[in-house]
A and B are shown apart, each in its own frame.
Chain A
Amino acid sequence: QVLLVQSGAEVKKPGASVTVSCKASGYTFTNYYIHWVRQAPGQGLEWMGIINTSSGSIGYAQKFQGRVTVTRDTSTSTVYMELTSLESEDTALYYCARRAVSGSGSPNWIDSWGQGTLVTVSS
């Protein structure tokens, strides 16, 4: 079955950077895009970006442009999300999630989620 396993919780100071990993298994890694979505405590879902795991091309939400970098390692079926210049408002649960449909184009809903990685930003 599809499995997305994320790295463990992180505690960072303001101004620092964090990298969260997401290891995929149970399917052909390069056939499906991976999203990054975050959820602040008690809040809703916020889309951050997406990566084409085959070509490596990416798209980011305008809010995070310049602060987020998503990469992938096809040899280990792992996607990485780095967020820099952390602020307290970045405290959230960060999810990787698989786009449900292979190939590019409009169908862009999500069918599988990682377990989430809690990033806490505190001085």
Chain B
Amino acid sequence: EMVMTQSPATLSVSPGERATLSCRASQSVSSNLAWYQQKPGQTPRLLIYGASTRATGIPARFSGSGSGTEFTLTISSLQSEDFAVYYCQQYNHWPRITFGQGTRLEIK
């Protein structure tokens, strides 16, 4: 069974600083990984797919990297609207997908 593990569970960062979120897969997913942002009371929003491709309309301060089992989402200079919960999702084993448990990004 595929397990996606995100760390840390909560990350406290000051506005303007860089945030680095991690996602680890229990087995290789190649580059078949997406990242989503979810704000309270809203549905998730696609940020990144293919591990590093930004979705339409996503600001350049969001970047994704990694392949295999280790992935990173970096937000280069945090804006107030970026504080939210972030989920990774693998899609390497068609048609099943698996989400990580999420990382809460909070204001320091």
Residues of chain B at interface, number, CB under 8 A: 23
A108 to B49, CA, bound (A): 9
- Assuming A35-B97, A107-B91, is B102 touching A44 (CB within 8 A)? yes
Whether B94 contacts A105 by the Cβ 8 Å rule is yes
Per-residue CB proximity of A4-45 to B under 8 Å, as 1/0? 000000000000000000000000000001010100000011
Chain B's nearest CB lies how many Å from the CB of A118?
12
How many A-B Cβ pairs are below 8 Å? 61
Chain B's nearest CB lies how many Å from the CB of A52?
8
Per-residue CB proximity of B85-108 to A under 8 Å, as 1/0? 001010110111111111000000
Chain A's nearest CB lies how many Å from the CB of B9?
10
Residues of B within 8 A of A2 (CB): none
Whether B95 contacts A110 by the Cβ 8 Å rule is no
Whether a CB of chain A sits under 8 angstroms from the CB of B3 is no
Whether B94 contacts A108 by the Cβ 8 Å rule is yes
Residues of B within 8 A of A61 (CB): 96
Whether B46 contacts A110 by the Cβ 8 Å rule is yes
Task: Give residues of chain A (46-71) contacting chain B, Cβ–Cβ below 8 Å.
Answer: 46-47, 50, 59, 61-62
Taking Cβ atoms with an 8 Å cutoff, the residues of B that contact A are 1, 32, 34, 36, 38, 43-44, 46, 49, 55, 87, 89, 91-92, 94-102
